[in-house]
Structures are given as C-alpha cells and as structure tokens.
Amino acid sequence: MRYISLLLVLIALFIVSACDRFDHDFETLDFKAELFTPMQSAMEHPEDLSALMAFYADDYVHNAATKADREQFFHSLFTLYGEDIVLVPALQAYNHHNQSLTWELRVFDPDMEPGLLAVIPFNDEKVLKVGDSWKLYGNRIADLEQGTKRRMVFETFTFTTCPNCPQVENVLHGLASLYPTQFSYLEYHFNDPLAIPATAQTFGYYGFSVMPATILNGEAKVIGGDPIHLETIRNAAEGYLNTSAVFLLEDIQTTFTAGTGLVGSLNLEVPDNSKETDLNLRFHLIERSSATTNSIGNACTNVVLASGKLDISEHDLNLPINFSLPFTGSLPSDAALIIFVQKMPSPWADNAPILNAREIDLAGI
C-alpha cells in the first residue's frame, strides 16, 4: 500500500509539472506583440496593403476564401467606411492542439463616440511562425457545402465609366469573400460593351433608375454608392445570414456546348403541399473577373454574360426542372453559374424574395 501511495504521489507531481510546463509555453506566445500589433500597424496604410498581406501565407485558405479574397475584403472595408477608420485585431482564444487562433477585427471611426462600427470574427485560423514572424494560414477548408443554409443574391446595375459604382462593386466582392457559402452577387452592365439584351428586362422589372442601383435579394433597392448606402448593403447582407432555406436546389447538372450555350437540370425540394404563385427559376452565366475594367481601373467582377428565366409556378415540383441558357461566346476559364428560385409578382414593390440560390463553378465543364 505504501508503494501504491508513493506511485500516486509521483504521478500527481508529474501531472502538475506537465501542466506547469504547458502554461509556461503558452504564456511565452505573445500574439499581441508578435502578430496583432504589427498587423494593426500595417492596417494603417489602405493605399498599400502589401505589408498587411505579408501576414497571410500564399496558400492561405479559410472557408474557401483565399489570400486574394482577404485582400479584397480589406479593400472593401476602406471603401465601405472610409480610409480614416481604425482597424484593431484582437485575440479571443488560442488552441494549442492545432495551433489555431480565434480573433476578431474591430472597426472604429475615430471621429465618433464610442466609435465602434463593426466586429468581424475569424474562427480557427491556423497560425505558424515562419522565421521571425507569424503567418495566418486560415482553417484550411477549401470547399464548403452550403447545406440547408439560404444563399442570398444581390444584383447591381452598373456601367464601366460609372464614377460611384466601383465602391458598390468592392463591397459586394468583399461580402462574397467573407460569406462564400451564403452570398452571391450579379453585376449587370447597362449601355456599355459588357451589356447584354436581357439586362434591360431585368432592370425594367425592378424599375429603371440612376446607377449604381443594387437590389437586395429581391426585397429592396439601394441607389448610390456613398457610405450610408454601402452600410445599408452590408447590414442587409448580415441580416440574411444563418437563415435556413425552405427551398433546396439539388442534383444540379450542367452541360456547355460551344456556340450554343448551357443546358441543365435540377431538382427542387420544397415543403409538403407547397404551392407558390409567381415562382421563377432564374439562371445566370457569369465571368468572375473580366478583362474589362471599371472607372478606377479595377477588373469588373461577376459580370453577367447571359441571363435566363423560367416560370415554374405550374411545374410539378416532384419532377426535375430543365433549363437552357443560350450563349454563343467562349466559356471563360473562371465562369460560374448562379441559379436561384424567386417569387416575382408584378409590379415589383420590394416583394420578390430570392428563396434560395446556388453558385456553381463551371471551370473544366
């Protein structure tokens, strides 16, 4: 018995020693001094984000967002809130088992009291020390399943020489980078080289107006690109987050034929005995990054190349839905299909909700 008691004491001492050693190691990791303070200093230069992006590994990926997406996200913050904002990264937790951080980015307006504009969380970002500095690697999740979450779609109407449109485009691209499983956007061009005939019909349904004009998931229109309007767009997107989808778009099949266009099919899962009026399936071929630039020299993004609509109010939703999208051009290497179900009563009066959507990468189709 005496030997057993001695053994238990030795085990206890070992455990205490091990715990003390872990605590000591953890306390030596001063992420504020070694990572977040230098990051904050780099965030003070919106005109050149190269120093900030040096904290992100070249193969960074976080919930399907890449290093380039993160850079665009920071640009969108300065577009949204102005270049005088103060960005403060703050550590929330460190997981020593997988060397990951949970942190948040706090956005302040120095001219306001208390001045906190937004808090943006980043969960489980892997961090490694490379040489004398830390680098963020993201959570390493490259592909995300949308699951039963509702995907929203914002539609913006623009033209390449529009002076106030790039601000809206930057914010939309930043939202897509931040919420890749729940946010899509379409950029319709009007009266410029990227315009397509279908744009006039879509714009007409929502009501022609000055541009930029942005439709928020079919339920509101924002005209303009000043900070107040940009904040409205961002707040609307955050309001749709984490809502469950009633309609699910499943088993999407697509085939592209050069010179003809895209054909496809899907199954629409709906609630039992659901019968919706004015129900439409809308589908769009987009180019994620165009060679054509906007008024400040940035590439136009998510440009609508072809657009189609199918009234499915009378369709037997127990059967697959077939659709076709004529397009005689060449399929871009970064092409995607954005397809969604929308109630479209006429006339439109902020009452055409997009019930759910999918964004399908067409590379290699």
Greatest mean pLDDT among 59-73, 106-120, 166-180, 188-202: 188-202
**Average pLDDT estimate for 128-155:** 84
Structural domains of the chain, ranges and CATH numbers in brackets: 31-138 (3.10.450.50), 152-361 (2.60.40.10)
The CA–CA distances, whole Å, from 22 to 15, 17, 25, 126, 231 equal 11, 9, 5, 19, 44
Q: Is the pLDDT of residue 4 over 50?
A: no
The pTM score is 0.74
d(CA 87, CA 75): 12
Mean of the per-residue pLDDT values of the chain: 87
pLDDT digit string (tens) for 264-311? 999 999 876 667 899 999 999 999 989 999 998 888 999 999 999 999
Greatest mean pLDDT among 109-113, 128-132, 237-241: 237-241
Greatest mean pLDDT among 1-5, 68-72, 348-352: 348-352
Higher pLDDT, 144 or 134: 134
Greatest mean pLDDT among 146-150, 165-169, 211-215: 211-215
pLDDT reported for residue 155 = 98
Write out the two tokens for 230. 């940009």
pLDDT digit string (tens) for 30-72? 888 999 999 999 999 999 999 999 999 999 988 888 898 899 8
Only one residue has tokens 């004015």, namely: 278
Counting Cβ atoms within 10 Å, is residue 246 exposed (0-12), middle (13-18) or buried (19+)?
A: middle
